[in-house]
Amino acid sequence: MPVGLHGQFPLWSRLGMRIPSDICVKTTGSMLRERGPALVCLAALSGYVTAVSIWKPGSAALLACPFHALTGLYCPGCGMTRMLYQLVHGHIALAFAQNELAFLALPYVIWRIVQALLPLRWQPARKFDISPRWTYAIVAVIVIFTLLRNIPYWPACTLAPGGC
């Protein structure tokens, strides 16, 4: 349960200063509940980047895409391990060639994680709310990207991991 500022600063109460009740100092438990999903995302992304910086894609330590192994088709995430490997090692153009959509979405994902982790202390964490229109648009882009990258003819084949 949050502790009010008056409880931490009794002088303010003695001076008659009023603080709105919605401004409060968060306890560790409430901060962890609000920022837990962002912390999990940050930990997963950090672990993933660490793994691809140590091992090469295709090694036994990094699993191949199960969807591609079963169907022979590229999923929207195919090439992300190779993309992060190239990005961590400073090869921007090669990273972009592995998964264009993930490459373009990565700065936004990182920005949203940081935004969820670092709100002002007395403000609640910002919730990730997205309108249904944006949800449909994002899903449509992912579906179109997936369909195009599985067409074996130029120019669509340039979207496959590594290009044509």
Measure Cα distances from 136 to 103, 130, 150 in Å. Answer: 20, 10, 21
How much is the pLDDT for 102? 92
Mean pLDDT across the chain: 75
H/E stretch holding 107 reads: helix 100-117
Asked whether 103 and 83 are in contact (CB, 8 A), the reply is yes
pLDDT given at position 136 = 94
Is the confidence at residue 11, as pLDDT, over 70? no
On whether the CB atoms of residues 26 and 122 are closer than 8 A, the answer is yes
Handedness of CA 32, 102, 54, 61 (dihedral sign): positive
Taking only the tens place, the pLDDT of each residue in 52-101 is: 777 777 666 667 788 888 998 998 988 888 888 888 888 899 989 988 99
3-state secondary structure of 132: helix
pLDDT confidence bin for 4, thresholds 50/70/90 = very low
Residue 34: pLDDT band with limits 50, 70, 90: low
Element (H, E) at 135: helix 132-149
Q: What is the mean pLDDT of residues 17-42?
A: 60
Q: Where residue 145 falls among pLDDT bands split at 50, 70, 90? A: very high
Selection from 76, 46, 73, 50 nearest residue 61 by Cα: 50
| pLDDT computed for residue 33 by the predictor | 65
The pLDDT score that the predictor gives to residue 2 is 46
